[in-house]
Structure 1
Amino acid sequence: MQIRDLPYADPGVPDVRSGTRFLLWLGRQQLGGQVKCLLWGLLHHLGIAGLPLGVGLAVQAVVDRDGGRLALAGVLLLALGAAIAAGDVMLHRTAVTNWITAAARVQQLLSRKTAELGSVLTRRVAAGEVVAVSTGDVERIGWFVEALSRFAAAAVTLVVICVGLVVYQPALGVVVAAGIPVLALAVLPLLPHAARRADVQREKAGKATELASDTVAGLRVLRGIGGEELFLGRYRAASQEVRRAAVHSARMWALIAAIQVVLPGLLLIAVVAYGTKLALDGRIEVGELVTVYSAVALTHHALRNFEEIAQAFSFSRPSAKRAARVLSLTRTTTTVPKPREVEAGGDLYDPLTGLRAPAGLFTAVVCGDPDVAGRLADRLGGHPTEPDADHTSVLLGGVPLDELPLEDARTVVLVQDKEPVLLSGTLRELLDVPTSGKVRAEHALAAAQCDDVLDALAQASVATGGDPMLTRITERGRSLSGGQRQRLALARSLFADPEVLVLDEPTSAVDAHTEAAVATWIAELRRTRTTVVLTSSPLVLDRAHCVVLVHEGQAVAVGSHRGLLATEPRYRAVVTRETDEELATADGRAVELDALEGESA
């Protein structure tokens, strides 16, 4: 896989049973790139390991005054230099390719999961954690994947050096062969402590990122209540905790690095001391001593990969664990059978609550609890936020939404929650969504009562000749008011014109006059489509074809707005905001009036 071939046509199905399994799965997916990196790494490291042999031959040739052997040593050193240069360049190229392609694969998997879950993702996982996984965690995971093959090349090189020195000079080679494994494995007892400290650092950094994300998202509210300094103090405290955790973690890694320097130095001292004695006794030649000394001195280059792979694994394992947790989420809590097709024109029915939205009608749903309404909206869109006892799925035309292919489910049912997101870009780009082609953009904007929004965008559009469609909207629509953002999101949903549109409090941020106009336009624009609006606004309820009261998780009453007001006290309590005492008083007065009417009769 080359960088120019990205993105992947199919990033695959990851193993998300644990962070370690996810890392190993990523490594297997890039087996070709890992093998290339391994081979180039062997060329590079073995070229470096061969330098002592050339140097030793050259020194001994000078001692023996042998010009032919000196020329041979020069040719060998030249060939080894070329091998080192080529291996270094290609090792870096293939390693970076493995890093980028692994990171790209993880990002594609996260993007696919985000598209699958939609707005339900941030209800199951904190927004700050999603940001941390898709940014810093992706880089750390890619680091481990690319370091793995370089570590394998270094490990093979050390084995070759040990075996080669035992064969070349057994007396010194045995000392080196016994010492190299100790150098490589000496830091193992410290790795669990380093990993724990790295986990603490990552956890605190994730919390700080989440706090920063929440603060930025609510900056306008914070300024309105004068809470900037409070949250600034909280973030300052969180960042200091991250700093202290990072310093605490860095001390352990500094100790590991120090060990990687001290122990090779001690081995060099032992080799020189023992080798000098052997040379004075005439058991080895000077060139052989130089060769063994140089080989041991150059092992630090390969040994550094042991420290790096330990550090990469310690930092990437918690990152992979978080990524695996996000990727393990499913859009439903049921087992998805073979995909089926749904015919247009069917009723939307929720067996769990008993709610039925007739096809082609404007159905309003009243819930006393806004959180219950939000969860119900998710269920109607095929995204239950928590498992239910019966594992029931919402039916559309008799077909469970769980059994629809994800692409079809997204096309047929559209859910707009009470806090829709506007991405940065122009208004034209905002409305660049898949549509049925039956609703024009200007009609959708008119239905959502966006005239004042268009005027404001036109006035702000200096460089585009006053065309509101070309005016850039900032991230999350922060340059607009809450009501303007809500209406633009509604216009986008109406323009998409899905078979079933579910709206959760679509007019909560607008005035009464605009709310009545929007309700009228929705009923008119979607007169042949199924529309479900979760609301408690009398202006919207009065224009619905059918009103359903959901009380304690069950649809308990169905009728018109006026009819339910007259006959259903629980409905009247939600819509008119009457208290229990007021309801009891009203019921008592009704009983008294009925009694008086009976006596007069």
Structure 2
Amino acid sequence: MRIRDLPYPDPGTPDVRSGPRFLLWLSRRQLGGQVKALAWGTLHMAAVAALPLAVGTTVQAVVDRSGARLAAAGGLILVLALLTALGDTMLHRAAVGNWITAAARVQQLLARRTAALGATLTRRVAAGEVVAVSAGDVERIGWFVEAESRFLSAALASVAVCVALVVYEPSLGLVVAAGLPVLALAVMPLLPRATRRADEQREKAGYATELAADTVAGLRVLRGIGGEELFLARYRRASQEVRTAAVRSARMWSLIAAVQVALPGLLMIAVVWFGVGLVREGRVGVGELVTVYGVVTFLLYPLRQVEEIAMAWSFAGPSARRAARLLALRRTDDGGPVPGDPAPGDPAPGESVPGDPVPGDPVPVLTGGLYDPGTGLEAPQGQLTAVVCGDPDAAGRLADRLGGHAPQGTAGVPSARLGGVPLDEVPLAAARAAVLVQDKDPVLLAGTLEELLDVPSSGRVTAEAALAAAQCGDVLDSLRRSSADPSAGPMRAHVTERGRSLSGGQRQRLALARSLITDPEVLVLDEPTSAVDAHTEARIADGLRELRAGRTTVVFTSSPLLLDRADRVVLVREGRAVATGRHDELLRTTPEYRAVVTRETTPEPWIGEPA
């Protein structure tokens, strides 16, 4: 795969049973690029390793006053220089290509998994961890994949040079061959501590990033209550802890680098000291000593690759574990996977997962009423069904399950069914085309209002009709006034990130308009009017009922204004649908329903009818 051919048509199905297995799978997927980098790296290393031989031959030719051998040695140096330049250039191209393509593959896998999990992702994984994996961890994993081929070429060249050196000059060659493994393994005792310190730094950096994101997101509220200094002080402390951890980690890596410099220097001194004695005894010539010295100098270069691969592994190992843990999540899982152990029902590497999108598969069209076996909730086709649930968290989980997602803590609960078809047994694209769930806190992306409302839709509902039904007239006026070019109209006005320039009610109504434009077969709304006043809420209720006529709509709410417009109301208590009827009927007959809707502390008899 060339860089210009990215993205991958299909990044593949990763082995996510553990971090090392994921790295091994990724390396196998990059096999062509790895072989290419290994070949160019071996050529580069071999050319560099042969230079001392050519230099030694040149020196010996000068000592022996042989013009022919001097010319041959000069020609050899020229050829080796050209091969070194060619090998280094092509190795760099191949290695960087491996890095970028591996990182791109992981990014595509993460994007596909994030899209598959949808809103349930942040309920299973902290938002800071998702950001850390998508930003920093991807680069570290790509670095390790890129470093593998260079390390292997360095290892092959080192072994070949040691064998050739033993054949060329046995006395000095044996000294070098015995000392090289010691040098390569000398840093191994230091790596566990360096890895732990690097992990500590990344953990503290992730916490600081999450704290900064939370502070920025809530800055408007913090300023209102005067709490911004408190949170800024917390971030300063977290930032200083990151700095301290980074310094401690850098000290360990500097110690490893110092060992990698000091020990080869000692080996070089030993070789020169021993070689000078052999020259004095007449057992080796000056040119041979220069050759051996040059070879030892060359071996310092492959040793640096040992340090780099160790550092790359210390960073990529934890990163691969986090990525594998995130990629192992499934829509029907009740939590994250156990590291190193596949979750029950997870596929073997290479197998498809029911409910995950498969490229090329046709998207079936689902119609019919919506039914949740877990609670017994039923929303007939073409009707507006309101659901009253005293527990807001339980309502959010139930809303997600109606959209084909099994939230955490609902293991073993059957999936919701649309027209009798379980949503977790159909492709994700089909489930989302049929059922749209709007969260309690929907996100508005930055851009113009036109871009915000440019979403996949049936085409039946226009932007104007959706905005009118969601009562967004004042929102349009506000956007028009704040626009840099008021004459361009509100649709060209800019909406800031997460709509922070708008009030909570305005953001809520824009999100509702966006959901109405999609015009799905089933629309699930979780408290869509909790931030608006009663008069606006009444008009939204009328607009919603009119615009969604003939479509299945489920609204989680306890607002009497919305409940009164619903075709049927379902009371869910302790995970079960315990009462169904119209709003006025349930007020008369069901004390639990009346307590939730009227905010009573204890159920009282209905006063409007005789006991």
Q: Same fold (TM over 0.5)?
A: yes
Residue 348 (str. 1) matches residue 370 (str. 2): yes
Residue 599 of structure 1 corresponds to: none
Residue-pair matches, total:
589
Q: Find the aligned partners of 1:40 and 1:376 in 2 and give their Cα distance.
A: 57
Residue 41 of structure 2 corresponds to: 41
Preserved contact between residue 333 and residue 387 of structure 1 (Cα < 8 Å): no
3-state SS of 2:460 partner:
coil
3-state SS of 2:592 partner:
helix
Residue 498 (str. 1) matches residue 520 (str. 2): yes
Residue 247 of structure 1 corresponds to: 247
Deviations for 1:221-270, whole angstroms, at most 9, x for unmatched residues?
Answer: 11111111111111111111111111111111111111100110010011
Q: TM-score, normalised by structure 1?
A: 0.95
Deviations for 1:251-290, whole angstroms, at most 9, x for unmatched residues?
Answer: 1111111110011001001100110111100101110000
Q: Find the aligned partners of 2:14 and 2:144 in 1 and give their Cα distance.
A: 16
Deviations for 1:345-390, whole angstroms, at most 9, x for unmatched residues?
Answer: 4110001101000110000000001101100101101111125354
Q: Find the aligned partners of 1:587 and 1:461 in 2 and give their Cα distance.
A: 54
Q: Find the aligned partners of 1:199 and 1:126 in 2 and give their Cα distance.
A: 17
Q: Find the aligned partners of 1:476 and 1:430 in 2 and give their Cα distance.
A: 11
2:95 counterpart letter in structure 1: A
The offset of 1:3, in angstroms, is 1.0
Preserved contact between residue 345 and residue 360 of structure 1 (Cα < 8 Å): no
Q: TM-score, normalised by structure 2?
A: 0.94
Q: Find the aligned partners of 1:244 and 1:16 in 2 and give their Cα distance.
A: 33
Q: Find the aligned partners of 1:462 and 1:202 in 2 and give their Cα distance.
A: 42
Deviations for 1:278-311, whole angstroms, at most 9, x for unmatched residues?
Answer: 1100101110000000110121111101000000
Deviations for 1:162-206, whole angstroms, at most 9, x for unmatched residues?
Answer: 011001111100111111111111111111111111111111111
Residue 194 of structure 1 corresponds to: 194
Residue 550 of structure 1 corresponds to: 572
Deviations for 1:504-537, whole angstroms, at most 9, x for unmatched residues?
Answer: 0000111111111111111111111100000011
3-state SS of 2:15 partner:
coil
Q: Find the aligned partners of 1:344 and 1:109 in 2 and give their Cα distance.
A: 27
CA gap of 1:462–1:390, structure 2 versus 1, over 3 A, is: closer
The offset of 1:543, in angstroms, is 0.5
Q: Find the aligned partners of 2:294 and 2:411 in 1 and give their Cα distance.
A: 70
Residue 210 (str. 1) matches residue 232 (str. 2): no
The offset of 1:215, in angstroms, is 1.4
Residue 360 (structure 1) aligned to one of 349, 366, 382: 382
Residue 179 (str. 1) matches residue 179 (str. 2): yes
Q: Find the aligned partners of 1:471 and 1:101 in 2 and give their Cα distance.
A: 38
Preserved contact between residue 354 and residue 427 of structure 2 (Cα < 8 Å): no
CA gap of 1:75–1:588, structure 2 versus 1, over 3 A, is: closer
Q: Find the aligned partners of 1:522 and 1:471 in 2 and give their Cα distance.
A: 25
Residue 517 of structure 1 corresponds to: 539
Deviations for 1:454-473, whole angstroms, at most 9, x for unmatched residues?
Answer: 11122222337332111221
Deviations for 1:124-170, whole angstroms, at most 9, x for unmatched residues?
Answer: 11111111111111111111110111111111111111011001111
Q: Find the aligned partners of 1:337 and 1:413 in 2 and give their Cα distance.
A: 18
Residue 598 of structure 1 corresponds to: none
Q: Find the aligned partners of 1:59 and 1:109 in 2 and give their Cα distance.
A: 56
Q: Find the aligned partners of 1:589 and 1:394 in 2 and give their Cα distance.
A: 38
Residue 565 of structure 1 corresponds to: 587
3-state SS of 2:480 partner:
helix
In structure 1, runs of 5+ residues without a counterpart are 595-601
Give the % identical residues: 70
Residue 449 (str. 1) matches residue 495 (str. 2): no
Q: Find the aligned partners of 1:498 and 1:588 in 2 and give their Cα distance.
A: 38
CA gap of 1:40–1:247, structure 2 versus 1, over 3 A, is: same
Q: Find the aligned partners of 1:475 and 1:447 in 2 and give their Cα distance.
A: 24
Preserved contact between residue 16 and residue 324 of structure 2 (Cα < 8 Å): yes
1:117 counterpart letter in structure 2: L
Residue 423 (str. 1) matches residue 417 (str. 2): no
Preserved contact between residue 438 and residue 497 of structure 1 (Cα < 8 Å): yes
Q: Find the aligned partners of 1:410 and 1:236 in 2 and give their Cα distance.
A: 42
Preserved contact between residue 472 and residue 510 of structure 2 (Cα < 8 Å): yes
The offset of 1:120, in angstroms, is 0.8
3-state SS of 2:414 partner:
coil
The offset of 1:392, in angstroms, is 0.8
Residue 301 of structure 1 corresponds to: 301
1:14 counterpart letter in structure 2: P
In structure 2, runs of 5+ residues without a counterpart are 335-344, 346-352, 357-361
Residue 496 (structure 2) aligned to one of 466, 471, 474: 474
3-state SS of 2:488 partner:
coil
CA RMSD of aligned residues (A): 1.7
3-state SS of 1:502 partner:
strand
1:206 counterpart letter in structure 2: G
3-state SS of 1:330 partner:
coil
Q: Find the aligned partners of 1:95 and 1:260 in 2 and give their Cα distance.
A: 23
Residue 458 of structure 2 corresponds to: 436
Preserved contact between residue 127 and residue 213 of structure 1 (Cα < 8 Å): no
Deviates more, 1:207-216 or 1:387-396: 387-396
